[in-house]
Structure 1
Amino acid sequence: MPLPLDTLERGRPCEICATPTLPWHLLGGGALERCPVCGHVRRPLAAAAAHHRDLAYGGDPALDRWRTALTYRALIADGTPRSVFEIGYGAGGLLRRFHDAGAAVSGVDPGQLDVGVDPLVRAHGRLWSGPAEDLPDAWVAADLVVGVHVLEHVIDPLATMRKAATMLQPGGRMVALTPAGDSWGPRTYGSAWWMLEDPTHVRFFSADSLARAARAVDLVDVRVDRLVLDSLTTDAGSVARMRGIRRPDGVLGSSAVLAGALVTAPAILGLRALAPSTRPTLRLTARRAAA
């Protein structure tokens, strides 16, 4: 739990609820800024500059395809939407699946991952290259707005979510996945937590702060849960970093670390099934109010 306000120096206001944040000193050194009210975590730029990989992307393409397939299946559980807008479409893998299912696809991406975009998505999608905050309001009208591990990167999360909400049809659904700052990861692994390896991760939501953010931009039917299957390599990557492994392309660039992640996956899944706090990803589901 955060320490009382009178025991630590007050920090920057929380970007979600405006409460002064407190320093959260991590195992292994370094500190984050944590809100004592909503649990939202910010990463000071000085902390982001240390012990990270060179680029934002530090995963494995095969695992990413598997995660995209699982995410897609979850998003169409209640039927395939007619139109989809993605915040941070990256290489366009998720939009390609929706395109192939007959949906109109669109999205925004600032190009942080520096990857090529799927040619069919580029040819048939309505794409905006640049910060989401720069988009005109209601640039599209989508049944589904989705953001997969993007809110932790943006300049202003509330501005991004507010802009995304304008892309929804009345009654449309927004789904966002983001690392859980209130999971056991930062408490257990400290500065070696794998989510801190990405130099562009500048915040980590709690379940409370993510729900507050959604309500602050007038979304309704807000629900936040924790995913069992997402980011299965987080613990293996964190253990490798605790052991001092550092690579410019990230610890998952090591075949030994990646093999360890695959071998331990069944045990990690069992642990996550029993203890939700061990799940490193939050999922927000909310809707724009019907007209």
Structure 2
Amino acid sequence: MAAQETPTAYVGGTGDMAASRMRYQSEMSIGVDRFLEPRNTECPWCNSAALKVLLRSPDVVQHKPGRFTLEECGGCGHVFQNPRLTPEGLEFYYRDCYDGYQEALRERMFKLQAATYRGRIAFLDRHASPKAWLDVGAGHGHFCRAARAHWPNAVFDGLDFGDGVDKGVRRGWIDRSHRGPFPELADDLTGRYDVVSMHHYLEHTLDPFAELDAAARVLPPGGHLLIEVPDPEWPLSRVLGRRWNPWCQPQHLHMFPIGNLKEALRNRGLDPVAEERGMAHQTGADLLMATVQFWNALMPDPDAPWLPSRGTGYRMSRKAALVAKAPSLALAGFLDVLILPAARSANRGNAYRVLARKAPYRAEG
């Protein structure tokens, strides 16, 4: 999943690590409550006041300090972070996650997504042959690399906040990078692309409606918008609670049932032409990642610059824990594999895809 809200680049090295640690300690010394906006009393999707707390969670991604709440709307089923992080808070909690200190870890995770990339490619291939594609939330360009192998004559550009898209250009995975908020860049990108994609991007954004508006402006009549997001209607999302990886606090701000998204698309002249639920299910995102989260919370990374320094004893214990956690990870991964056929046969999963087509011009009269 790509970083969306101004992640800050981190360059390795002893001096930089010391400076990063000092910066984090300075920020955390005055508390992190200032990173949260006032609580919203209405659903940002339908304006209903029928809200209920779904779960409360710490930072399950990096274990930075803070507590976060997801609320669910009784009117439309929209799930959203409430109170929501401020832009400064998003910078703090994204920093060193996709770029910087944990960049190498994220690179390894992206490389494990080959099956998901193939699924997206096959989904679009049944409906369109792209000539110029804009991947919004492109990260380091791993999806564009896979798609380019299938459509070698198409142009693949990437948009994101971090410098990963620039690295994607240098690697030859992305033709051109765009950095900044999509709604602010949309007018300059209008008419350049016949396909726009948002893969696990919308749930990160402050205003999903503004992002959909931007896609509607950029696409020409007949162009396609491909969206993939976590599915909050997946039953295991409730069973696993805050350990369900796609809740991903504090990074995921909005989670929407598929019916909500399709209605929002139609309201913008983007007609849903296809959807996938079971086929979009991601193996490993449920039980395996819940187990990984458990072990990471139990013994966090001792070198993370936002956490207290740890001594030799802790490091030795953490290495010993690798032996203890291996069987639990293997069992969780095996059970996740068993879930996949059931998800596909029921046409439900932990994620879904929607492909929408912008309505063509209609001749007047």
Band of TM-score, shorter chain: 0.7 to 0.9
Deviations 1:33-61 (A, max 9, x none): 21222211102257999xx9973676724
Aligned to 1:139: 189
Of 44, 55, 59, the match for 2:97: 55
Question: Is the 2:186–2:217 contact (alpha carbons within 8 Å) kept by the matching residues of 1?
Answer: no
The Cα of 1:171 is off from its aligned counterpart by 0.8
Aligned equivalent of 2:353 = 283
What residue number does 2:271 align with? 220
**Unpaired stretches in structure 1, ≥5 consecutive residues:** 1-9
Instruction: Give the count of matched residue pairs.
Output: 274
User: Identity over aligned residues, as a percent?
Assistant: 26
Distance 1:154 1:223 in 2: 24
Q: Please say which of residues 142-151 and 16-25 is displaced more in the overlay.
A: 16-25
Q: Which amino acid is the alignment partner of residue 281 of structure 1?
A: A
Asked if the contact 1:32–1:47 (Cα under 8 Å) also holds between the matched residues in 2, the reply is no
Q: 1:113 offset after TM fit, Å?
A: 6.9
Mapped contact 1:231–1:281 kept (Cα < 8 A):
yes
The structural deviation recorded for 1:244 is 6.0
2: CA distance, partners of 1:206 / 1:223: 16
In 1, the alpha carbon distance for the partners of 2:186 and 2:72 equals 32
- Which of 135, 145, 160 is equivalent to 1:109? 160
Mapping 1:1-291, distance limit 5 Å:
12-26=41-55, 31-45=69-83, 55=97, 60-100=109-149, 101-111=152-162, 116-118=167-169, 119-122=171-174, 125-137=175-187, 139-141=189-191, 142-221=193-272, 223-237=274-288, 239-240=290-291, 245-246=296-297, 248=300, 259-277=330-348, 279-291=349-361
Against the structure 1 CA distance between its residues 44 and 11, is the aligned structure 2 distance closer, same or farther, given a 3 Å change threshold?
A: closer
When the two chains are superposed, the root-mean-square deviation of aligned CA atoms in Å is 3.4
Higher relative contact order, chain-length normalized (CA < 8 Å, sep 6+): 1
TM-score, length basis structure 1: 0.79
User: 1:168-192 CA deviation, whole Å, 9 max, x = no partner?
Assistant: 1211111100011122133111122
Q: Distance in 1 between matches of 2:186 and 2:56?
A: 43
SS in structure 1 of the partner of residue 45 of structure 2: coil
Q: State how far apart, in whole Å, the 2-side matches of 1:55 and 1:44 are.
A: 22
What's the TM-score, normalizing by structure 2?
A: 0.64
Give 3-state SS (helix, strand or coil) of 1:19's partner: coil
CA contact (8 A) 1:11 1:20 kept: no
Unaligned runs of 5+ in 2: 1-38, 59-67, 99-104, 302-321
